[in-house]
Amino acid sequence: MIFTSSRLPVRATVWVLLAALALALPFIVILGGERAAGRELLWDFSMGLGFGALAAAGLQFVLTARFRPVTRAYGMDIVYLFHRYFAIGAVALMLGHFAILYIWFEDALGDLNPLTAAWELTSARVALGAFVLLVITSEFRKTLRIPYELWRYGHIVLAVIAFGAAIAHIIGVGHFTGEADKRILWLGVTVSWLLILVWTRLIHPFSIWRNPWRLVENIPRHGGVHSLVFEPLGKPMKPWKPGQFAWLWLDTPPFSIRQHPFTISTPPEQGPRVTFSIKPLGDFTAGAIHAPPGTRAYLDGPYGAFSIDNDPEAEGFVMIAGGVGITPMMSNLHAMAERGDTRQVVLIYANPDWDDVTFRDELEWLEKSQNLTVVHVLDDPPEDWQGETGKVDRALLEHHLPEATHHWPHFLCGPGPMTQAVKTALLDMGVPLRAIDSEVFDFV
Ligand SMILES: Cc1cc2nc3c(=O)[nH]c(=O)nc-3n(C[C@H](O)[C@H](O)[C@H](O)COP(=O)(O)OP(=O)(O)OC[C@H]3O[C@@H](n4cnc5c(N)ncnc54)[C@H](O)[C@@H]3O)c2cc1C
């Protein structure tokens, strides 16, 4: 993420402070209260860990609700990264809570057999198990070969079980919920979660449902990509920045989880129609590229922060794309053309072979009309190929990116390993980290 607009870091900092406050709240409440006689500090600390875990887990409602002020401040991929790390942190705190009780206060854990154990303690074990499963199935989804949609359904079911059981545990055990002010606090927190859930799953989808879109054109491109053009039948999308993306539902209502993110390749100046250029990679995309004009769709956007607009003062831009990672670059390049922006752009674009090079004709045209240099890199070039071949490595980057470009914003989008390797090479070349922004097409 490149923070060059002065308001973005302020917003980002405010959100971090609010998150820190939410996490600190349980400890403040517990330490601020009178400690009952005979209770050990270690016991209270363990309770603090338990409540802290729930606060960290509760933040997930905010992080996954796609609140625009949050996603605008960081970019969706960073928000999902927070989601991931907070979830791991929450499970670590829960395990800490459990470990202290197990080692020093084993009696408090009671009977392990769910048939004879106190329900509130069984709830705790169910919650812990569900939270651990949530983290394991998310961290190792690909290794465990869990299909994306199955994983998403499972994620929702496990999250409901985990939160339900955790709240039942807290209420049932009754520590720090006895006094009226603390009861009001926890009740307030729980009600806020529920409200966010209602907004995310009902109110927000309902507003999307009231503003459907229609597919008006389906244009085949090189490399198996199809550009789908949609027109609004209701309210158009809020003004977007080049490089932003939206979630797309095709032929399914927006209450369904069958929604997929795609970069908006239409420059904002050419709205209200919105184009997505889609490469078939799995079930949804394979079906989407064959969608006939007239297909009903729903869009939720714009989101993301992968945009030249984040740095109005930049002298020029470096863009490095692999395969379908070209879509946000096209969106930014088209916006520059539309605006008559003549700043220099160097685009390094890697593909397996020449037939895979999506938008190659448009790029040729943009190269003639804009201050743009395109460097195609092919893994498997045709015989008469004069250009670059192989991987985008440090030697190739040094050859095409003189030192004067090092402080320009660098946009990276492509397969994960390529993006990571290019980032490392750029850092080794002396490009500052703050000048490198990467978009991942793979949140989990
Ligand atoms: C910000 C962003 C912008 C994107 N822009 C484009 C674009 O312009 N053009 C394009 O062709 N592709 C784009 N993608 C990738 C596109 O969203 C996935 O290829 C598509 O969702 C795959 O779905 P599938 O069912 O066809 O494939 P699957 O085989 O189900 O999924 C392939 C992989 O895509 C990811 N994925 C699947 N479904 C989702 C989902 N609902 N949300 C997030 N990730 C998912 C998962 O990591 C999965 O392993 C973008 C992704 C992101 C995150």
> What is the CB neighbour count within 10 angstroms for residue 154?
16
User: Does the C-beta of 261 come closer than 6 Å to ligand 1?
Assistant: yes
- For a pocket test of ligand 1, which of 66, 262, 266 has the largest count of ligand atoms closer than 8 A to its C-beta? 262
Higher pLDDT, 212 or 256: 212
pLDDT in tens, 269-284: 887 999 999 999 888 9
Alpha carbon distance 303, 207 (integer Å): 16
Does 31 share its domain with 86?
yes
Does 227 share its domain with 100?
no
pLDDT in tens, 406-434: 999 999 999 989 999 999 999 999 999 99
Q: Which of 26-40, 68-82, 104-118, 166-180 has the lowest mean pLDDT?
A: 26-40
Question: Is the pLDDT at 61 greater than 70, yes or no?
Answer: yes
Q: Which of 262, 280, 303 is the last residue of a domain?
A: 303
**Residue 51: per-residue pLDDT:** 85
Alpha carbon distance 60, 82 (integer Å): 9
DSSP assignment of 265-303: -S-GGGTTSEEEEE---SHHHHHHTTPPTT-EEEEEEEE
Domain-located, residue 167:
yes
Question: Is the pLDDT at 194 greater than 90, yes or no?
Answer: no
DSSP assignment of 327-389: HHHHHHHHHHHHHT---EEEEEEEESSGGG-TTHHHHHHHHHHSSEEEEEEESS--TT--SEE
pLDDT class of 364 with cuts at 50, 70, 90:
very high
User: Does the C-beta of 263 come closer than 6 Å to ligand 1?
Assistant: yes
- pTM (two decimals): 0.85
Average pLDDT over residues 177-205: 81
- For a pocket test of ligand 1, which of 145, 306, 419, 441 has the largest count of ligand atoms closer than 8 A to its C-beta? 441
**Residue 7: per-residue pLDDT:** 44
Strands (E), 402-443: 410-413, 436-439
Q: Which helix (H) or strand (E) holds 98?
A: helix 76-104
- How many structural domains are present in the chain? 3
Which ligand 1 atom sits nearest the alpha carbon of residue 444? Answer: 47
Does 279 share its domain with 322?
no
Average pLDDT over residues 66-85: 80
Domain-located, residue 432:
yes
**235 CA to centre of ligand 1 in angstroms:** 26
Does 81 share its domain with 123?
yes
What share of the chain in percent tops pLDDT 90?
61
**Residue 65: per-residue pLDDT:** 84
Q: What share of the chain is helix, strand, coil (3-state, %, to 5)?
A: 55, 15, 30
**Residue 260: per-residue pLDDT:** 94
**Residue 79: per-residue pLDDT:** 84
**5 CA to centre of ligand 1 in angstroms:** 29
Residue of minimum CA distance from atom 49 in ligand 1: 148
Does 339 share its domain with 247?
no
Does 248 share its domain with 349?
no
Average pLDDT over residues 160-175: 86
Question: Is the pLDDT at 33 greater than 70, yes or no?
Answer: no
Average pLDDT over residues 180-185: 72
**148 CA to centre of ligand 1 in angstroms:** 9
Question: Is the pLDDT at 443 greater than 70, yes or no?
Answer: no
Which ligand 1 atom sits nearest the alpha carbon of residue 304? Answer: 1
**29 CA to centre of ligand 1 in angstroms:** 42
pLDDT class of 1 with cuts at 50, 70, 90:
very low
Does 321 share its domain with 423?
yes
pLDDT in tens, 292-342: 999 999 999 899 888 999 889 999 999 999 999 999 999 999 999 999 999
Q: What angle do CA 319, 366, 245 make, to 5 degrees?
A: 50
Q: Which helix (H) or strand (E) holds 115?
A: none
**Residue 8: per-residue pLDDT:** 54
Does 241 share its domain with 339?
no
**Domain range for 178:** 7-207
Q: Which of 161, 192, 207 is the last residue of a domain?
A: 207
Domain-located, residue 367:
yes
- Average pLDDT taken over every residue of the chain: 88
**247 CA to centre of ligand 1 in angstroms:** 10
